[in-house]
């Protein structure tokens, strides 16, 4: 049995195990994916107690979100926790990380359409950019939270200094970074102190 945990200061409660959906529609990273197999995978996870679905715009440039949106239509949306991420801007023909508040607001609105939902439970800034003040980008997410479009604010792939800057106003609920037996850079940064 899994006991739910609360995400930061939000009201979002998740089971400690979730489904990462990079391989659900993420054709740009995993060639030869079958859309129906991805939808079936999401449904199987939901049918077996997984309530957290983690996706991102960059997983198939929105296609993963579209497949999840299709998969969840037969389920009670209030029992599913959807986490997605944004910051990848391809509008110039090249991949650019963009945390500009207007761009992030557009990313959230586009994700809502692809996911076929009225709200996103956890929205992450997927990567920090070099130009936008971190607290300003998070402030845009806070405004979206106040509008009811997202329920919790996350940041991903931020250094410790960037996390502190992003959370200057105390709005960040969750941090998602790479950490494993192979990737332990955060220990030397003091992130886990």
Averaged over successive runs of 10 residues, the pLDDT of the chain (193 residues) comes to 88 94 87 93 96 97 97 97 98 96 98 99 98 98 99 96 96 88 67 60
The two beta strands, 88-89 and 81-86, are unpaired
Report, in angstroms and rounded to the nearest whole number, the Rg of the chain calculated over CA atoms.
Answer: 16
Question: Other C-beta atoms within 10 Å of 6: how many?
Answer: 12
Helices (H), 77-193: 101-115, 134-146, 160-166, 185-189
pLDDT value at position 178? 77
* Strand, coil or helix: 188: helix
Q: Which domain holds residue 104?
A: 5-189
CATH number (domain holding residue 39):
3.20.20.100
The reported pLDDT for the residue numbered 190 is: 63
Give CA–CA dist 159/146, Å, rounded.
27
Q: What is the pTM of this model?
A: 0.93
pLDDT of residue 85: 99
Other Cβ atoms within 10 Å of 65 Cβ, number? 30
Active site residues: 59
Which residue bears the tokens 């959370």?
167
Q: Which of 187, 166, 185, 184 is CA-nearest to residue 175?
A: 166
Work out the number of other CB atoms within 10 angstroms of the CB of residue 130: 6
Q: Which residues have a Cβ under 8 Å from the Cβ of 27 and sit 6 or more positions away?
A: 33, 60, 63
Longest CA–CA span in the chain (Å) reads: 47
The domain total for the chain is 1
């Amino acid at each position: 049995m899994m006991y739910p945990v609360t995400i930061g200061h939000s009201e979002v409660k998740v089971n400690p195990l979730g489904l990462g959906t990079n391989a659900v529609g993420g054709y740009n990273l995993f060639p030869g994916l079958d859309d129906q197999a991805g939808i079936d995978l999401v449904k199987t996870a939901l049918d077996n107690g997984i309530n957290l679905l983690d996706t991102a715009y960059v997983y198939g440039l929105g296609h993963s979100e579209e497949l999840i949106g299709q998969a969840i239509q037969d389920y009670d949306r209030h029992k599913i926790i959807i986490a997605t991420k944004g910051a990848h801007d391809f509008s110039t023909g090249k991949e650019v990380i963009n945390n500009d508040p207007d761009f992030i607001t557009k990313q959230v609105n586009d994700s809502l359409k692809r996911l076929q939902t009225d709200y996103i439970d956890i929205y992450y800034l997927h990567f920090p950019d070099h130009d936008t003040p971190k607290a300003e980008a998070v402030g845009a997410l806070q405004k979206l939270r106040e509008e009811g479009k997202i329920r919790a604010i996350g940041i991903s792939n931020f250094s410790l200094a960037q996390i502190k800057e992003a959370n200057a106003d105390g709005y960040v609920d969750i941090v998602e970074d790479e950490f494993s037996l192979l990737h332990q850079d955060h220990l030397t940064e003091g992130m886990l102190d």
